[in-house]
């Protein structure tokens, strides 16, 4: 990690980073069921301690975290704690993403209400928690295009209050990007940036679709682009940034082990890559952990790691003034 240079995280799920203590506290206070009542006993239910067979199993870990999202106060608390965690990790700027439908589903919260609560907490944190932050609204693919329209509308509503982009996440193999082309067009027209998770559970063709069909500016993961040289050329030509999360890829069995992770090959092919955590609570890690993995497990050089840090600043959804401000304080 380059010191004296801004540390940026572009790919972290708000609802994949809920403190176990917070789950216990909220469930206890609201009289909800949990399979265990101490941090250590609950940990195996939340965190991946051994390899999971698929992305769908990985997503199942979210179910327990969602149980804590009992009301809008809980949403605000989870956002605030995410900001505190980022500040404690030494992160200067973070983009936190969430599907408001998914977050609200367990306890029947309104999708727009979830976005409003997240924006409230972002505003409250400004000036009191030492980290700059923006939000990204997710369309969760597995709810289908119609609910996707509600999530799109909620993201657009948050645009003036810190929501800067629309992302597509969830079951990539079962719900291809083609279903959401119109949503992405409308997001762009409304002034949102665009990202899509692709090339994780599905192959290089899904990355191509995200770039050409959805016109995503950044790709979440995107690592399976390595399977098709033509898709790599496309990413390089269009200067698309990949948000790479190495340990998450192991935990979803997208890659077998660190040694077979394509990040070094992608960087050496000239693809713009950044280093991210994805879901800290579920993977049991922080951003510093992924920088250690990049160096010690993936064998990246100091110069390559520094380049990723610079790419993250360049690819962040900041205005030129905000970017200059970020660079000035570090």
Active site residues: 200
Nearer to Zn ion, 136 or 147 (CB): 136
R_g (Cα) of the chain, nearest Å: 18
Torsion region of 132: left, alpha or beta (phi above 0 gives left; psi -120 to 50 gives alpha):
beta
Interface mask toward Zn ion for 201-230; x: CB under 5 A: -------------------x----------
Minimum CB separation of residue 11 from Zn ion in Å reads 6
Instruction: Give min distance, CB of 241 to Zn ion, in A.
Output: 14
Convert residues 230-269 into a mask of x (bound to Zn ion by CB under 5 A) and - (unbound): ----------------------------------------
Residue 232: phi and psi, rounded to 5, are -60, -40
| Helices 302-315 & 320-329 angle (0-180, nearest 10) | 140
Name the phi and psi angles at 293, rounded to 5: -60, -45
Choose between 54 and 330: whose C-beta lies nearer to Zn ion.
54
| Between 201 and 226, CB nearer to Zn ion | 201
Residue 202 beta carbon to Zn ion: minimum distance, rounded to whole angstroms: 14
Q: How far is the CB of 185 from Zn ion (least distance, A)?
A: 22
CB neighbours (10 Å) of residue 217? 18
Residue 151 found at the interface with Zn ion (CB under 5 A): no
Distance CA 120, CA 125 (A): 9
Residues 266-305 touching Zn ion, rule: CB under 5 A, are 278
Contact string 162-201 vs Zn ion (x = CB under 5 A): ----------------------------------------
Chain-centroid distance, C-alpha 160 = 21
Alpha helices in the chain (DSSP H): 20-29, 39-46, 55-60, 62-67, 72-88, 100-105, 111-125, 144-157, 181-189, 204-212, 229-237, 246-251, 263-268, 280-283, 287-292, 302-315, 320-329
Region 113-142 residues binding Zn ion, contact defined as CB under 5 A: none
Binding site for Zn ion (CB under 5 A): 220, 278
């Amino acid at each position: 990690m380059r010191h004296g240079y801004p540390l940026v995280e572009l790919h972290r799920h708000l609802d994949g980073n809920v403190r176990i203590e917070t789950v216990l506290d909220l469930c206890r206070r609201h009289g909800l069921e949990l399979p265990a009542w101490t941090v250590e006993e609950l940990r195996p239910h939340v965190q991946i301690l051994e390899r999971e067979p698929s992305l769908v199993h990985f997503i199942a870990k979210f179910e327990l975290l969602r149980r804590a999202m009992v009301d809008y106060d809980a949403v605000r608390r989870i956002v605030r704690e995410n900001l505190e965690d980022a500040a404690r990790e030494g992160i200067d700027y973070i983009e936190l993403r969430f599907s408001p439908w998914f977050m609200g589903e367990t306890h029947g919260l309104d999708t727009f209400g979830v976005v409003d609560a997240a924006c409230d907490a972002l505003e409250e944190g400004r000036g009191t928690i030492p980290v700059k932050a923006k939000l990204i609204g997710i369309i969760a693919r597995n709810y289908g295009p119609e609910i996707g329209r509600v999530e799109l509308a909620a993201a657009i509503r948050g645009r003036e209050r810190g929501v800067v982009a629309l992302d597509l996440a969830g079951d990539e193999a079962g719900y291809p990007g083609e279903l959401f082309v119109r949503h992405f067009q409308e997001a762009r027209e409304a002034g949102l940036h665009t990202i899509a998770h692709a090339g994780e559970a599905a192959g290089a063709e899904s990355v191509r679709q995200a770039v050409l069909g959805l016109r995503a500016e950044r790709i979440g993961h995107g690592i399976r682009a390595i399977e098709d040289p033509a898709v790599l050329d496309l990413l390089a030509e269009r200067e698309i940034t990949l948000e790479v999360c190495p340990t998450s890829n192991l935990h979803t069995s997208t890659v077998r082990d660190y040694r077979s992770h394509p990040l070094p090959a992608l960087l050496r092919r000239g693809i713009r890559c950044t280093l991210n955590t994805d879901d800290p609570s579920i993977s049991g890690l922080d951003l510093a952990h992924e920088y250690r993995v990049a160096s010690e497990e993936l064998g990246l050089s100091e110069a390559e790691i520094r380049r990723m840090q610079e790419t993250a600043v360049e690819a962040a959804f900041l205005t030129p003034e905000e970017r200059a401000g970020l660079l000035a304080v570090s």
